[in-house]
Amino acid sequence: MPQTKFQKLMFALITVIITVPCFVFYCSSYEAGGFNVEVIKNSWIFIPIEFVLAYLCEIFIGSPLSVKLALKAIDPKKNDHMIVETAIICATVCIMCPLMSFLATIIYNGIIAVGMNGAPLNDFIINFIPYWLQKVVLNFPFALLSQLFFIQPLVRTIFKAIFKNNAEKEKVSKKQELVYTK
């Protein structure tokens, strides 16, 4: 998959473009008691904020740590590439879900509830950990299943379509390496 720094940044960008709206709508639907047109209308305000936060977290924290974590558990030389990719996806969810839930707790229960809606600051401070843990517990199953079965397959398909020529060049150069090394 991504080989260069630019490709890694693009892969993260594609992932965040697909993931953030899904999670904003999911979380907003939970808070509203169901998914409806009002949830969609009200959620668009938060997508740009969460997009920036998710992209920065993915680039600087999620992606580097998830690869290290997955490669501690799985040996890419001994395992099929699909198992390695699945391990990386699972590790990414294990890192990004608590991290983004933490940031969402600050945004929704702190900044919006306290700053904009006038909720007591003391309530936010006392209940921060329960609010955060509740978000993690509610988001984790959705994050894991959506990343494994929908988002990452779609991201990989889009990424392969964008970088099709690079992938073909890599295959040719690897074949040439094999010819020259024999």
Closest CA to 147 of 4, 20, 50: 20
Provide the sign of the torsion angle of the four alpha carbons 88, 94, 98, 101, taken in this order: positive
The per-residue pLDDT for range 59-76, each reduced to its tens digit, is: 999 999 999 999 999 999
Q: Into how many domains does the chain fold?
A: 1
Can you give the pLDDT at residue 88? 95
What sign for the dihedral angle of Cα 28, 29, 30, 32? positive
Mean pLDDT, the chain, as a whole number? 87
For residue 107, give its domain range. 5-181
pLDDT at 32: 83
